[in-house]
Amino acid sequence: MDFDVNALIRQLIIQVPPLLFALTMHELAHGYVAWRLGDPTAKNEGRLTLNPLKHLDPLGVLAFIIMKIGWAKPVPVDPRYFRNPQRDMLLVALAGPGSNVLLAVASAALAHLFVNLGFLPFFFLQPLVAMLAASVWINIMLAVFNCIPIPPLDGSKVLMGLLPPAAARSYAKLEPFGFFILLALFYTGAIGWVIMPIIRFSNSLLLG
């Protein structure tokens, strides 16, 4: 089968802008909530910005192009600034996936609006709606993937915020091995088997 370069370019034009925005908002949400809870680390490092270059992880973008699952450069958070570190880290962790859920809903609403009203010329409407549909899928993917409770993903920090302090500290010791656990789950296809049905169902629910 011949490799279709033009199809790949069209796909990237549609998918890359919403991916960059989704990753940026995910990390910005983490940093903003941490800042509001008293941690200035992300702000001091220039991460409270909509500039995607400040948040990109090249490997994460490449993984999205190849495997359709990606990630950004994590925002630095110092829980020593928090009044209640365990609770506040949970809130910071939820902010990232929460921002992606909101973006997915907003993108779906705009897609339905443009399709139903049809007030834009077709040559402009079609790529715009395709980009919004891609935004829905990408933001759902980021929200669901990051909720996996394996360090260093957000789901692990949410779980640590819910566990008793001693159990949370024990669970945190898995973090050095988290990347290898995720790699093994990717290799076996276990991650896709778990999260893809959730992503497809949520996507169909929003786009109809």
Could you give the residue numbers annotated as active site? 27
Alpha helices in the chain (DSSP H): 5-36, 41-44, 58-67, 85-117, 122-146, 154-162, 165-172, 175-188, 190-207
Closest among 12, 21, 147 to 68, alpha carbons compared: 12
Half-sphere exposure of 89 (CA within 13 A, CB side): 24
Cβ 100 vs Cβ 42: under 8 Å: no
Cβ 46 vs Cβ 104: under 8 Å: no
In whole angstroms, give the CA distance from residue 132 to residue 177.
Answer: 36
